Chains A and B, each alone.
Chain A
Amino acid sequence: MALSILVIDDEEPIRQSLRLMLRLKGYAVATAADGAAGLEALAEGGHDLVITDMLMPGGAGLEMIRDIRARHPAVRIIAMSGGAESSGRSVLELAAELGADAAIGKPFRAAELLALVRRCLGEA
Chain B
Amino acid sequence: MTPRWAGYRILLVEDNSGDAELVAEMMSETAERIERVETLAAAGELLRAAPFDAVLLDLRLPDGAGVECVTRIRDAAPDAAIIVLTGMAGEAFALECLTAGAQDYIGKDEMRASTFRRAVDYAIARVEADRALRRSEQELLRSQRHLEAAQRIAATGSFELDPGTMLCAGSGQLCAMTGREELALVAWDRFLELCIPVEVRPEVTSAVEAARRGEVPDQLEFNMRRSDGVARKVLLRCNGQASAAGLPDRVIGVLRDVTELREAQARQAEIEEQLRHAQRLDALGTLAGGIAHDLNNTLTPIVTLGSMMLDAAGEDELRRDGLTLILDSAERARGLIAQILAFSRKGGGERQPVRLDQLVRDTLRMITPGLPITVRCTPRVQPVREISGNQGQLYQVVLNLVTNAAQAIGRREGTITIGVESLGARVLLYVQDNGAGMDEQTAKRIFEPFFTTKAAGEGTGLGLSVVSGIVADHGGTIALTSRPGLGTRFDVEFPVAG
- Whether B300 is near chain A, meaning CB under 8 Å from some CB there, is yes
Known contacts A86-B348, A107-B302: does B308 contact A21 (CB below 8 Å)? yes
- Partner of B301 from the list A17, A85, A87, A89 (CB cut-off 8 Å) is A17
Residue pair B308, A24 in contact (C-beta under 8 Å)? yes
The smallest C-beta distance from A10 to any residue of chain B, in angstroms, reads 9
- Partner of B303 from the list A20, A89, A109 (CB cut-off 8 Å) is A109
- Partner of A83 from the list B289, B298, B308 (CB cut-off 8 Å) is B289
Q: Interface size bucket, A side?
A: 20 to 34
The smallest C-beta distance from A17 to any residue of chain B, in angstroms, reads 4
Known contacts A11-B297, A110-B311: does B341 contact A18 (CB below 8 Å)? no
- Tell me the A76-97 residues at the B interface (CB within 8 Å): 82-90
Number of A-B contacts (CB under 8 A): 85
Residue pair B348, A17 in contact (C-beta under 8 Å)? no
Q: Provide 9 A-B residue pairs closer than 8 Å at the C-beta atoms, listed in order of the A residue.
A: A14-B300, A21-B304, A82-B292, A83-B292, A86-B345, A106-B300, A107-B296, A110-B308, A113-B304
The smallest C-beta distance from B328 to any residue of chain A, in angstroms, reads 12
How many residues on chain B are close to A (CB under 8 Å)? 30
Residues of A within 8 A of B308 (CB): 20-21, 24, 110
Main secondary structure of the interface of B (DSSP, over half): helix
Residues of B within 8 A of A14 (CB): 297, 300-301
Interface residues of B (CB under 8 A from A): 289, 292-305, 307-308, 311, 327, 330, 334, 337-338, 341-342, 344-346, 348-349
Residue pair A107, B346 in contact (C-beta under 8 Å)? no
B339 nearest CB neighbor, chain A only: A85
Residue pair B342, A85 in contact (C-beta under 8 Å)? yes
Residue pair B311, A86 in contact (C-beta under 8 Å)? no
Residue pair B297, A106 in contact (C-beta under 8 Å)? yes
Interface residues of A (CB under 8 A from B): 11, 13-14, 16-18, 20-21, 24, 55, 82-90, 105-111, 113
Residue pair B338, A85 in contact (C-beta under 8 Å)? yes
Known contacts A90-B348, A107-B330, A107-B334: does B304 contact A83 (CB below 8 Å)? no
Residue pair B296, A82 in contact (C-beta under 8 Å)? yes
B346 nearest CB neighbor, chain A only: A87
Residue with the greatest number of chain B CB neighbours at <10 A, chosen from A11, A21, A106: A106
Known contacts A17-B304, A86-B348: does B299 contact A107 (CB below 8 Å)? yes
CA distance A3 to B45 in the complex (A): 124
The smallest C-beta distance from B269 to any residue of chain A, in angstroms, reads 33
Residue with the greatest number of chain A CB neighbours at <10 A, chosen from B293, B295, B300, B345: B300
The smallest C-beta distance from A100 to any residue of chain B, in angstroms, reads 18
A20 nearest CB neighbor, chain B only: B305
Residue pair B341, A87 in contact (C-beta under 8 Å)? yes
The smallest C-beta distance from A92 to any residue of chain B, in angstroms, reads 12
Residue pair B293, A55 in contact (C-beta under 8 Å)? yes
- Partner of B289 from the list A17, A21, A87 (CB cut-off 8 Å) is A87
